[in-house]
Copies of this chain bind each other. A is one copy, B any other.
Amino acid sequence: MSASDDNDPVIGVVVVTHGGAGRCLLEAAGTIVGPLEAADAVSVAMEDSFEEVIRQVEQACTDVDHGAGVVILVDIHGSSPFQACMAMLDGTRAMEIVCGVNLPMLIKLAGKTRSSDLLAVAQEMREHGRNAIWVASDFLRAEKTGA
């Protein structure tokens, strides 16, 4: 089976962020490339207990998992929301976690959710997310010098 096949079940996507950024990112991706097939966001508030965050992340993973596993995109490493995501790596379901979510990652992911290789999808998100970060004036200087 190829790494991307329409017959593959859809990978679930959960975006976990401090505050409402995750929901906004999903909405922005939706307006640009159409809504992701099986996606949800978890907005973590400062006053949420760790147990409550785990409960919310677990519920979101269950809601979007159609048998192909789940990719969690979380805003920042080392935080309490990140630790709650890591608690999902308990073998219950196929699961990958990508830290440092940005919009280019989600846009790219929208076309990649039919896949049988969850780790490859997560690694592609990592590379695409990184490559989408650059300084505009570096690019302009390169254009001028033909580099």
Instruction: Mark A residues whose CB is within 8 Å of B.
Output: 17-21, 24-25, 27-28, 31-32, 46, 75-77, 79, 85-86, 89, 96-105, 107, 119, 122-123, 125-126, 129-130, 132-138, 140
Does B97 lie within 8 Å of A135, measured CB to CB?
yes
- Whether the Cβ atoms of A134 and B98 lie closer than 8 Å is yes
Nearest B residue (CB) for A107: B76
In the bound complex, how far is the Cα of B133 from the Cα of A98, in angstroms? 7
What would 20 more interface pairs be, CB under 8 Å, given A97-B136, A99-B136, A119-B135?
A18-B28, A18-B103, A19-B24, A20-B24, A21-B103, A31-B46, A76-B103, A76-B104, A76-B132, A89-B136, A96-B136, A100-B102, A100-B103, A100-B134, A102-B102, A102-B129, A102-B133, A122-B137, A126-B133, A133-B133
Bound-state CA distance A103–B77 (Å) is: 10
Which chain B positions have C-beta within 8 A of A132? 76-77, 99-100
